[in-house]
Each structure stands twice: as C-alpha cells, then as structure tokens.
Structure 1
C-alpha cells in the first residue's frame, strides 16, 4: 500500500511541475527575445494544454488520456528547447508564483459558460429533431 502512495505522490509532483512549465511557456512567449517559431509553438502547447478539447476525447478508454500523458509533455519539452534558456530562467520564479497562487472563483463566468452550453445543446436538439421529422 505504501508503494502505491509513493507512486501517487510522485505523479502529483510531476503534474505540478508540468503545470509550472506551462506557466513558464505562457510567460516566455510574450518575451520579445523569443524567436517567432518558438512563440508559435509555445502558444499552441499552452492553448492545447488548457483547452477542454482534446485530439483524442478523454471518454475513450485508455487511449483518451494518451494525449494528456504523451502529447502535452512532448509539446512542453519541444517549446522549452526552442526558447533561449536565459529567458526560461527569467520566467521560472514568476511561473512558480502563478502556479502556487490561489485562484479566485468567478461564479458568474462559470454560470455563463454553463448557460451557453445548455443553450447550444437545446438548439442542437431542436435542429436534430426538426431534421428527423423531415
């Protein structure tokens, strides 16, 4: 049992470090010293990592989590290699601060997103029903 707990703790630590690296990329891509190809790569990796949309949906058993476990870390590694190391080092402290900060919850925005999804589902349902009746 203790071995499982240790492995779980290691995974949690790796996840926190990975999240911090995403913040490093986010801060670095805005730096004027970063080459354009590195900025584009960093933007794509950060957007994909924080996006709720995956290339392989998570509800597909086992394969659904492969993009989160393989694609995101590979993208982070690639983007970090493309950005000059002095820029990465400059943004690491700020990234740690952002990653560790408690985030305020904006219930209004959350409710707005839920309302948008419900409205879209309702609209889509109406369209499907009307299409099926023809």
Structure 2
C-alpha cells in the first residue's frame, strides 16, 4: 500500500473517530463527567497554552500525545458500553445509507 493510500485511510479513520466522539457528546445518556473529559481533551488540543510549553524540545510536544489520549480513555471508561455501541451502530448505519 502506497503512502497516499495509507494517508487516505488514516484521514478516513480520523473522520470516523471525530464523528463518534461528537455522537457521544450529543447522546443523552452520556454522563456529564464523560462530556466534561471530552471537552477538556478538545480544549487542550485547540487552546494555545499547555502544561509543558512547546518550546521545550521533545517533552513539549509529547504532553499532547499523553494527555489527550488519557482524557479520551477516561471518558470512554465512564461511558456505558451500551451507549458507545449505540453511537457506533448509528454511525455505521449512516455510512451504509450513503
């Protein structure tokens, strides 16, 4: 598989995951703590300040690679499996209808 195909597959997967987290955020049975953790992850990604400044070589960039996945992991642990599966199923059925 060429680099272009790998990048296209990665971009497609990223779009699916963003849609999944958006569906989780909108779902009425998603706990407030999980919604707050999802918003924190998004805010940490987009806001210009960090816990460790980016001008510190290597460590400055690694904090995003640790903190954001950790927040997403904690949010998914709080959300019931049935809610996660329902959101995945909704997205899958929407993709099949296209």
TM-score (norm 1): 0.49
Match of 1:114 in 2: none
Distance in 2 (CA, whole Å) between partners of 1:60 and 1:20 is 33
The total of aligned residue pairs comes to 87
**Given that residues 26 and 46 in structure 1 are in contact (C-alpha distance below 8 angstroms), is that contact kept between their aligned partners in structure 2?**
no
Q: Whose Rg is larger?
A: 1
- Paired residue secondary structure (2:76): helix
Q: Does 1:84 align with 2:80?
A: yes
For the residues of structure 2 that align with 1:57 and 1:17, how far apart are their CA atoms? 29
Residue 40 (1) aligns with residue 50 (2): no
| Structure-2-length-normalised TM-score | 0.62
Q: CA RMSD in A?
A: 3.2
Gaps of 5+ in 1: 1-5, 98-134
- Confirm whether residue 57 of structure 1 aligns to residue 18 of structure 2: no
Quick one: which of 67, 73, 96 aligns to 2:69?
A: 73
5+ residue gaps, structure 2, are none
Contact 1:25 1:80 in 2 (8 A): no
